Amino acid sequence: MSEELLFVSLGGIGEIGMNLYLYGYQGKWLMVDLGVTFGEEGMPMIDVVMADPGWIEERRDDLVGLVVTHGHEDHLGAIPYLWPRLGCPIYAAPFPAAILAEKLKETGLEKKAKVTVIPPGGRFKAGPFDIETVGFTHSIPDSRGLAIRTKFGTVFHTGDWKFDPDPLIGPTTDFEALRRIGKEGVLALVGDSTNVFCDKEAGSESAVRAGLIELFGRFKGKIAVGCFATNVARVESVAVAAHMHGRHVALVGRSLWRIDRAARALGLFNDLPEFLSDRDAAHLPNDKLLFLCTGSQGEPRSAFNRISLDEHPHVTLGRGDTAIFSSRVIPGNEKAIFGLQNRLTRQGVHVVTDHDAFIHVSGHPGRPELTELYGLLRPQIAVPMHGEVRHVQEHANLARGLGVEQAVEVVNGEMVRLAPGPAEVVDVIPTGKLGLDGPRLLRLDGDTLRTRRRMVFNGSAVTTVVLDRVGRVVGDPLVSAPGLLEEGEDAAIHEAAVE
């Protein structure tokens, strides 16, 4: 491996979420991102899922660092759970570093996990890797692309990005750096594929703010807005639009408060009034109130989901109120989101999505932006990432159409040799997924979850028998068969089991 430049993904290719990428060079490994995704139907009691780092954990002595491209959960959310297995230095820009500091404090790792804050445009070394960070616009501040330099050439890892001419928070994309790196020569572009099927540019956050200001003026009752907590510009836009209509904003959901603390610590929300808690907001008139909620993706334990089930201790919505979903539907979450929206509708709540009003733009590049990036960097090799299989395939086709010499379509676990010689898959390493089950991590293909799924979907039977000191049965056995026997209708089967 010392005379090769390698790339392998343990999570994030062929799927949306739980990004974990590795670069190998001179016997050392560099990790880029360590994120999570949501639990799915068929994963009972599992809300958070992450890539299994077992393969690189076995090589932790050669892991020189973890670089975080930005502060979204699917790029850094697994660090509090998996860092103890890795023990490597962490590098991040100021905003993701602030978010990470909160997370590490919650898990008692703030003094153990060393996070080096990299300033805008910063350049640093991790083992044999020479890394330059390049500022991109995204739906969160301080999103960074990475120019990873080796003797074989430069690999540009995009992270999540788009070209937003008016991002509201933070500077625009550093085009000067991209042009300079492109002129120096780029061996490979490892790039975001999420919106490769979109024929238009992603759009600007400033246009969304204008849309929210107009929309809020239509309603008189309580307004609840769901958006990604880490979309800092959107959080600010909701607050600005609310105050323009005389509404006070209450944050509902722990992750929103975490983002608020990180943003204010870096001076991003200084012009906004302090947010209210959901408890403090209870005394306000309906037309003076706006709830900003977590759970736009229908997550089971989120604030919005609990409100829709009438299980939230302080927030209720009903007839005359409005629920606004200022976010996209992440593939795989459709059933949960539509279930949430239908429950709200049954309560008499008016539901508004991005199909009804201009209240969301993506944080990922459309096809025109991808085309422009390839023109700036002119890579020899394209390795599509961050997308389902169809996105990866279409991204590779786009790259070929733009004149890229090689476009490599891979799945998680396929190790690509980027240099020397033509790019090709040279090995396949084991991959897997871990689910967060309370304080522990379980393999999704392990015996515990396999047995749990059988119990949930097939039912279970429990027999209780009381014996005396010499082993004789005392009374009738008790038989319980949840998920198997219907009380009353299956009495004969029950009696036969007792007998």
What is the pLDDT at residue 42? Answer: 66
pLDDT, tens digit (0-9, with 9 covering 90-100), for 344-381: 999 999 999 999 999 999 999 999 999 999 999 999 99
Residue located via tokens 């040279």: 426
pLDDT band at 125 (very low <50, low <70, confident <90, very high): very high
Q: How far is it, in rounded angstroms, from Cα 497 to Cα 83?
A: 50
| pTM of this structure | 0.88
Greatest Cα pair distance, the chain, in angstroms, is 88
Q: Which two tokens stand for residue 198?
A: 């979109």
Element (H, E) at 83: helix 79-86
CA 465 to chain centre: 48
Query: What mean pLDDT comes out for the span 79-87?
Result: 96
pLDDT band at 2 (very low <50, low <70, confident <90, very high): low
Q: What pLDDT is recorded for position 260?
A: 95
Among 121-130, 253-262, 406-415, the range scoring the smallest mean pLDDT is 253-262
Which residues have a Cβ under 8 Å from the Cβ of 191 and sit 6 or more positions away? 156, 157, 158, 370, 373, 382, 383, 384, 385, 386, 395
Q: What mean pLDDT comes out for the span 68-91?
A: 96
CB 36 within 8 Å of CB 12: no
Average pLDDT, integer, range 85-109: 95
Asked whether residue 282 carries a pLDDT value surpassing 90, the answer given is no
Q: Name every residue whose Cβ is closer than 8 Å to that of residue 390 and which is 6 or more positions away in sequence.
A: none
> What percentage of the chain has pLDDT greater than the value 90?
80
pLDDT at 425 > cutoff 80: yes
CA-CA distances (angstroms) from residue 6 to 112, 371, 416, 426? 29, 25, 6, 9
Give yes or no for a contact between 102 and 73, defined as CB atoms under 8 angstroms apart. Answer: no
| Distance between CA atoms of residues 494 and 290, nearest Å | 53
Over residues 311-334, the mean pLDDT reads 92
Q: pLDDT band for position 490 (50/70/90)? A: confident
pLDDT of residue 41: 65
At residue 488 the predicted structure's pLDDT band, cuts being 50, 70 and 90, is confident
- Mean pLDDT, rounded, of the chain: 93
* Residue 92 in this model has a pLDDT that exceeds 80: yes
**pLDDT tens sequence across 438-486:** 788 878 787 777 777 777 777 788 899 999 999 998 988 888 887 777 7
Reported confidence tier of residue 90, pLDDT bands at 50, 70, 90:
very high
Distance (Å) of CA 115 to CA 39, 67, 100, 375, 442: 28, 10, 9, 34, 27
